[in-house]
Amino acid sequence: MNIVLLTPGTGSYHCGVCMRDNALAKELNRLGHRAVMLPMYLPLTLDESAATPETPIFFGGVSTYLREKVPFLRKMPRWLDRLLSARPLLRLLAGKAARTGGPEVAGMTLSMLRGELGNQASEIEELIAWLRIAFDGAKPDVVWLSTALQAGLARRIRAELGVPVIGFLQGEDSFIDGLGPSANETWKLLSERMRDATAWVAPSRYFTELMARRLGWAADELKVIPNGVTLPPRDSQLSTLSSQPTIGYLARFVPGKGIGMLVEAFILLHAAMPEVRLRCAGSMTDGDAKYVETLKARLRAAGCADAVEWLPNVSLAEKQAFLASVTVFSVPATYSEAFGMYVIEALAAGTPVVLPASSAFPEIVEATGGGVLFETDAFVENLAAALQALLRDPARARALGEAGRAAVARDFSMTRLAERLVELSAERQNP
């Protein structure tokens, strides 16, 4: 099957969705399909080599912005668009402006959702022209949209190419709610334009129900297919539960992922277990670094900064080694986490998880048997207690980690995800 994955890039920091899509494209190609990953807005920043590094960037961040703000540029010549979408320029500007949400991007979000009726309509036609010949002069068999915020593309792609368009839901609720006064209008338009796609896939039952409510859809109109992860090499070292108890964190260094809560819990825990260590890895922008400095200051004031290690923007190999080096793992996210790729990444290394009893976490822990949940009423105190209980019971920690690793290999591998998505795409080709 010939498959195009349209994925928004971040330009300057590791993005979980981008990395998942890249790994998915590689796995599809390994399985004998032909998958092309097509970046939008900004270049992809990945933790491994790109599956298809030579593809052009569509809806380049600079030209898309100018089309939104300067009416006479909405039909800019292709040569100018290509110049403004050059990777070096986009990476330079992305590094200086990491703002990817909030009221400032509300207008552009609505315009992109309007699709052929929006200010970037001419770029959609350029995209369709490229898709017509994407595979040695042939069109794809299916187009996959990485997020519901690309729903404005579906109508023209299906009308012009006559192929299924499958979209993924990836946590759009927090982004839309952060748009300010335009949020309600965005939800209404999103619900309308998502109808133009062939099918939508959510990574968990939790997020299916949440998005169905917000969109005004029935839950059974969304397909649930859990995310998948690239399994560590068979001969790689799995979590060994070393004599020095170590807590691991792997996610972006932002408040919503709960890194601040974990630091506070660690301070409590360190007072009871001075031997405990905390290792924090994840993507970090310049703006995130300022937040991390406040956390480091808090640790210094508590007298335990030397027990914490910070590892920003790790590669895939470094990530897998990191996950195998910690005793327990926790990303205590405080917002509505749609899935949490980091959970199955940790479990794939045989490392047990400690997570809030909220969002998609109970669903994943139940499916894998790989960790424990804590109640969020006394968030920091309950997190510290749950971590301490597992750190003081190595036999239980090892059993949970082994159960989680087996479950991920069976049900949450990248191979399994690729197979499920190809099966759904084939079904929608021949309804």
The answer on 332 and 273 residing in a single domain is yes
The answer on 266 and 164 residing in a single domain is no
Q: What is the pLDDT of residue 131?
A: 97
Q: What is the pLDDT of residue 13?
A: 53
The answer on 419 and 335 residing in a single domain is no
Backbone Cα Rg of the chain: 22
Report how far residue 251's alpha carbon sits from residue 257's, in angstroms, rounded to the nearest whole number: 7
The answer on 420 and 401 residing in a single domain is no
Residue 167, in any domain of the structure: yes
Report how far residue 103's alpha carbon sits from residue 97's, in angstroms, rounded to the nearest whole number: 15
Instruction: Answer yes or no: are the C-beta atoms of 145 and 6 closer than 8 Å.
Output: yes
Domain count of the chain? 2
Residue 316, Cβ density class (10 Å: 0-12 exposed, 13-18 middle, ≥19 buried):
middle
Residue 234, in any domain of the structure: no
The answer on 366 and 292 residing in a single domain is yes
The answer on 419 and 388 residing in a single domain is no
pTM, two decimal places:
0.88
Residue 239, in any domain of the structure: no
The answer on 136 and 84 residing in a single domain is yes
Residue 187, in any domain of the structure: yes
The answer on 172 and 283 residing in a single domain is no
Residue 270, in any domain of the structure: yes
Q: What is the pLDDT of residue 241?
A: 47
**Sites in the chain below the pLDDT cut of 70:** 10-14, 61-74, 76, 78-79, 81-101, 234-243, 430-431
Q: What is the pLDDT of residue 237?
A: 45
Instruction: Answer yes or no: are the C-beta atoms of 331 and 250 closer than 8 Å.
Output: yes
Residue 165, Cβ density class (10 Å: 0-12 exposed, 13-18 middle, ≥19 buried):
buried
The CATH number covering residue 403 comes to 3.40.50.2000
Residue located via tokens 């290999």: 409
Residue 287, in any domain of the structure: yes
Residue 223, in any domain of the structure: yes
Query: Phi and psi dihedrals of 249, rounded to 5?
Result: -130, 135
The answer on 403 and 310 residing in a single domain is yes
The answer on 334 and 266 residing in a single domain is yes
| Domain around 49 | 2-228+414-429
Residue 354, in any domain of the structure: yes
The answer on 401 and 263 residing in a single domain is yes
For the CA atoms of 104, 114, 67, 22, the dihedral, rounded to the nearest 10 degrees, stands at 80
Q: Distances from the Cα of 246 to the Cαs of 22, 35, 164, 276, 317, in angstroms?
A: 30, 39, 47, 6, 19
The answer on 274 and 312 residing in a single domain is yes
